[in-house]
Amino acid sequence: MDVVREWIRAAPVAGAWPVRLDRGTSGGYTRRGDRVRDEKTVSPYDAPELYDLVFEGLDFDVAFWNRVARGAGGPVLEIGCGTGRILLRLVEAGFDAEGIDNSEAMIRRLRVKASERGLEVRASVADMRDFSLGCRFARAVCAFNSFAHCETTDDQVRALAAARRHLRPGGALVMHMSYPGPRYWSEPDGVPVLELEMVDPAGGRKVRLYDTRTKDPVAQLQRSVTEYRALEPDGRETLLHRGHTSQRWVYRFELELLFRAAGFARSEVFGGFERQPLTLPDEQMVAWAWTES
C-alpha cells in the first residue's frame, strides 16, 4: 500500500541485516531437500535473508511498541514475529517478550540473529489461529499487518480468540493494520510496482523488491506476487526469489465486531500510533482490545 511504501523508502537501508545473495535462482520453483514445490506454494517468507534486507532497518513503529511493552506491567507476546524486527528490539530493551510465527524459515532466521547478538529469545513456530503456550501475557501485539494474513472471518475470529486466551485478566491485544482507502482499491492490477531498491551490504549489488497485486474489493482481498531481483552491472535484472501471498484487509467497525465475536470485553480503534482519531482513508489503524478485568 502507498503509505507503507513511503515508510520503506524512508527506512535507513544501511541498517539492514547483512546477507549474501546467490546469483540467480529458478523463478518458478524452489527446492526443499529433495522436494520441489510449485511456485504458488512458495511464500516471500521462505526467503528470510531477503526479507531482512528489506525490512530490518524499518523503525517507524519501534518507539510505539516499546511504549506498549513499557506500559504492559508484565510479559509481552508478539503474534507474527517474523525474523524479529520488533521482538529482538524489545528483548534488547530489557522487556520480557516472546513470539510466535507460522514460518519455520523466519523463526530459524530470528534465532540466528538472536544468537549473533548474544540474546536469549523465546520464539515458537505456531499458527496464530490455534496455538497454546501454556502461559498468559499482559500484552499481545500484532504488528505491521500480520493479522491481514487471516483470510476468512473464521480465521480472524479464531486468531483473536487464541490471543485473548493467552491474556491475563485486564490484558490487551494491540494491533497495527493499514487502512485500505479508495485510492488503494483503484490502483491498477497486474502491474509490477517497484517497492524498494536497496544495496546488499555483503555483496554490494542493488536489490529490488517488486509487488504485482490483484485486488478484490468485494472480498477485501489482495493477492500478491513478490519478486526480489538483483541489478547486475550490465543493467540486467536477475531473479532471486518469487513468492505468492495474500492479505485480507479489515475496516474499523468490522474489526470492532470481530473483537466482540472473539470474546473481548471492550476495544478502541485509533488512526495512528499517537491515539489520534481514525478519520481519513489511507491512515494507519491501531486497535486495542481488552479482556475482562
Please check whether residue 186 lies inside any domain of the structure: yes
Smallest CA-to-CA distance from 203 within 238, 156, 159 is with: 238
Please check whether residue 34 lies inside any domain of the structure: no
Same domain assignment for residues 282 and 147? yes
Same domain assignment for residues 190 and 237? yes
Same domain assignment for residues 154 and 264? yes
Same domain assignment for residues 81 and 44? no
Does residue 158 have a pLDDT over 50?
A: yes
Distance CA 242, CA 211 (A): 10
Same domain assignment for residues 119 and 146? yes
At CB < 8 A and 24+ separation, what contacts does 75-78 make? 75/135, 75/137, 75/138, 75/139, 76/137, 76/138, 76/139, 76/140, 76/141, 77/133, 77/137, 77/139, 77/140, 77/141, 77/163, 77/166, 78/140, 78/141, 78/142, 78/143
Same domain assignment for residues 47 and 161? no
Please check whether residue 25 lies inside any domain of the structure: no
Helices (H), 56-188: 62-70, 87-92, 104-116, 153-165, 182-186
The domain that holds 156 is classified in CATH as: 3.40.50.150
Q: Residue 89 has which C-alpha cell?
A: 528490539
Q: Which pTM value belongs to this model?
A: 0.88
Same domain assignment for residues 44 and 74? no
Contact 241, 227 (CB under 8 A): yes
Same domain assignment for residues 255 and 130? yes
Please check whether residue 284 lies inside any domain of the structure: yes
Give 209-253 pLDDT, tens digit per residue: 999 999 999 999 999 999 999 998 888 999 999 999 999 999 999
More confidently predicted of 163 and 199? 163
Same domain assignment for residues 129 and 219? no
Same domain assignment for residues 131 and 268? yes
Based on DSSP, count helices (H) and strands (E) in the chain, helices before strands: 8, 13
Number of domains composing the chain: 2
pLDDT score of 4: 47
Angle at Cα 108 formed by Cα 106 and Cα 113, nearest 5°? 95
Give 58-107 pLDDT, tens digit per residue: 999 999 999 999 999 999 999 999 999 999 999 999 999 999 999 999 99
The one-letter amino acid at 170: G
Contact 55, 91 (CB under 8 A): no
Range of the domain at 222: 2-11+39-56+181-248
pLDDT band at 39 (very low <50, low <70, confident <90, very high): low
Same domain assignment for residues 266 and 277? yes
Same domain assignment for residues 263 and 163? yes
Q: Residue 184 has which C-alpha cell?
A: 488503494
